[in-house]
Every structure is written in structure tokens, then in C-alpha cells.
Amino acid sequence: MYNDIVSFIQNLYPHKSTISLHEPLFIGNEKIYVNECIDSSFVSSVGHYVDRFEKEFAEYTGSRYAIATVNGTAALHISLILAGVARDDEVITQPLTFIATANAISYIGAKPIFLDVDLETMGLSPDALKHFLEQKCVITEGRCINRTTLKTIKACVPMHTFGHPCRIDEIKELCDKWHIALVEDAAESLGSTYKNKHTGTFGKLGTFSFNGNKIITSGGGGVIITDDETLALRAKHLTTTAKVPHKWEYIHDEIAYNYRLPNLNAALLCAQFEQLEVFLKNKRELSGEYQEFFASHDIAFVEEPKNSQSNYWLNAVILKDKNQRDEFLQCTNDNSVMTRPVWALMNKLELFKDCQCEDLTNALWLEERVVNLPSGVRL
């Protein structure tokens, strides 16, 4: 059976001897814009392409403001600071995620709390969140207090796994009720919508990534989106070393970060952004082919959840058990078809083994069965 799968995927990418999980595709104005940027000499964090990208990205997602950063982790780090997270606070998130989610929380000196995910979305479960808040938390003087640790829970960071939106409206409702700031990790979900609203726009702040494996890339890059002008201005200030504007003086009014996206990278990103709809259409076509193929092989293909339109950034299947998963991975990778398992759960890493966890039945089940398939845009 696995040889049939290998052959099918090889036929999807007939001109490649080694089929990557995801790789960038440059078919537009990338070289033109980068050369224009070089000719202008504005290659650092000030320039036309940074401004242009921020404007276009805000319009595309339906946000009032966008602030470009060097990567998605930096965007999430700053967003958590803007949300009021401080040292010794706690942040609710999911264990089934890329480590950047947990790292950004840790940079501040805060601590993650890991709650379970939904099987359908692979994102944070509002049911698990509701149960935890009602059983383990109390509101005191407008703050959500964890009765186990007696610490303040300042924020919640759900992640839209592989570009599939989680039940973000229900999560927002709970966060609002419990005085918790909602910060969306939308790193993988550019082009995905939930109930006709773009991911990243439900919370106080949303963040995206433009790493080399994302749908569009600037080599790195990230962005913060928000509708709050005060937060947007502060995001720009904190990501540019908190320098007070002046023609020649170097005055900085707080400890801050050198996190702004360089104009050179933004030039590449503007050209990539022009191709986004082409890439999204292509990826939905690919997901349709995968869905039809795996239906005939009695293997569950991960489809977009209810009320969602997913970007299908990374296509995935769910195998019957860990043994079948490992056989699948072995056969495909031995034949130069790159597949990978889902990430190790964050709470299993040495770094986060002491963090508070609730019941993680769904996350554990998925960890043993999910495999990502080659998902690059095909010419």
C-alpha cells in the first residue's frame, strides 16, 4: 500500500527527484523588487517595501494595522508583551504546536499551561478551556487566578494548526468572560478564514510567520496585526529599539528589541504576496487530489473544519496507530518523499516538563498518528 502512496506523490511532482515537504516558489517580481530595493540603498528596517507590505497585509486580513517583524516568533513575543504578560504570569496554550509558541511565552519569564486540542481542528479545544477555567480558576479583582498556582493567567494563545482554524470564536468568548487576553498564533494560516473572518483577527492581537516553509516567504519575517491603534504604535516602538524619533539624537526610552523586518526582505515579501491567491488555489487543488486518493486507501485525510476555509498549508493524514505511522514515514522517506510526524508535544520536552497540564487525551492520540505530506505549490 505504501508503495502506491509513494508513486502517487511522485506523480504529483513529476520533475523532482527528491520531494520536499514544502519549499518556496519564486515566479513573480521577486528579483525586480529586490533589485529596486538594493538600488535605493534602503535595505534595512526603513523603506518603501516595509510600508507597502504592512498596508497590503492589513487590508487583506481585514485589520486596521500591521507591523512587520523579523520572524513570527518575534511577532508573538512582542504581542504577548503588548497583551500585558509579565514575568511569573501564566499563559494558556496547546501542547500540539511548534516550539516557537512556548518559547515566546518563556522569553518573558511567563509559564505556559497546556490544555487539550480538538480532534477535528488540532487546535486548542474551547471545551477543554471551559472545563479548566471553571474547575481550576477564579476571577479576583478583574484578574483570572489559577487556584493551583495562585498566579495570574494573563493570556491565551491558540494556534491554527497546519492552517486549519480552531473554534476561535468560542475561545474568544471564554477569554473575554475570564479577563484573559486572546493572542492568536496564526503563523501557519495566512489565507484561512473562520466564519468568513480571517484568522488572527479575533483576538486583541494576531501573529503570522513568513519563514521559508510558509505559503509566502521573505526568507524569514513575521507580522503583528491588531485593530488597536495604541497597541500598533507601541508594537512599532518596541520592535525598533524604543528609539524616540529625532533627526540626529539617539534617545531610547525603555528596554526594547531590534525586531523590525528589513526593507530587503519586505521587497521579497511584496512580490510573494502578489502570488498568494495563485498559491492558495493551487494548494486547494492539491488537497482535493490527496483527499480523493486517500479515501480509496482507507486512510483519513485531514479536511478543513466546519465553518472554515483552510489554506491547507501542510496536508496531513491520520494513520491507525503509531506502528502504521512509523511504517508510512519509513517507506516514504526511504523513497525520497519527505513526510514528517507532527511535533513532539511541548509538555514532553525537557524544557516544559514541569508546566501545568490538564487531560491531553486528544493531543496524545494525534501525536501518535498524524503525518504531514508534501504540500508545496506545483507549477
| CA pair distance 18, 26, nearest whole angstrom | 19
Cβ-based neighbour number of residue 315 at 10 Å: 25
Q: What is the pLDDT of residue 1?
A: 72
- For the domain bounded by 30-273, which CATH number is listed? 3.40.640.10
Q: What is the pLDDT of residue 44?
A: 87
Q: What is the pLDDT of residue 374?
A: 98
Q: What is the pLDDT of residue 112?
A: 98
> Which residues make beta-bridge pairs with 91?
112, 155
Q: What is the pLDDT of residue 218?
A: 95
CA 375 to chain centre: 16
Beta-carbon contacts of 35 under 8 Å, excluding residues fewer than 6 positions away, are none
Per-residue pLDDT tens digits of the chain, which is 379 residues long: 788 999 999 999 999 999 999 999 999 999 999 999 999 998 888 889 999 999 999 999 999 999 999 999 999 999 999 999 999 999 999 999 999 999 999 999 999 999 999 999 999 999 999 999 999 999 999 999 999 999 999 999 999 999 999 999 999 999 999 999 999 999 999 999 999 999 999 999 999 999 999 999 999 999 999 999 999 999 999 999 999 999 999 999 999 999 999 999 999 999 999 999 999 999 999 999 999 999 999 999 999 999 999 999 999 999 999 999 999 999 999 999 999 999 999 999 999 999 999 999 999 999 999 999 999 999 8
Identify the DSSP state of 351.
G
| CA pair distance 311, 302, nearest whole angstrom | 12
User: Is there a shared CATH topology between the 2-21+276-372 domain and the 30-273 domain?
Assistant: no
Q: Measured on CA atoms in the order 34, 39, 44, 46, is the torsion positive or negative?
A: negative
Q: Is 124 exposed, middle or buried (0-12, 13-18, 19+ CB in 10 A)?
A: buried
* E strand segments, the chain: 65-69, 90-93, 111-114, 137-140, 143-146, 153-157, 181-185, 193-194, 197-198, 205-209, 222-226, 300-301, 308-309, 316-318, 340-341, 370-372
Cβ-based neighbour number of residue 373 at 10 Å: 26
- For the domain bounded by 2-21+276-372, which CATH number is listed? 3.90.1150.10
Identity of the residue numbered 22: H
Tell me the domain boundaries of the chain: 2-21+276-372, 30-273
Given a contact cutoff of 8 angstroms between Cβ atoms, the answer to whether 236 and 74 are in contact is no
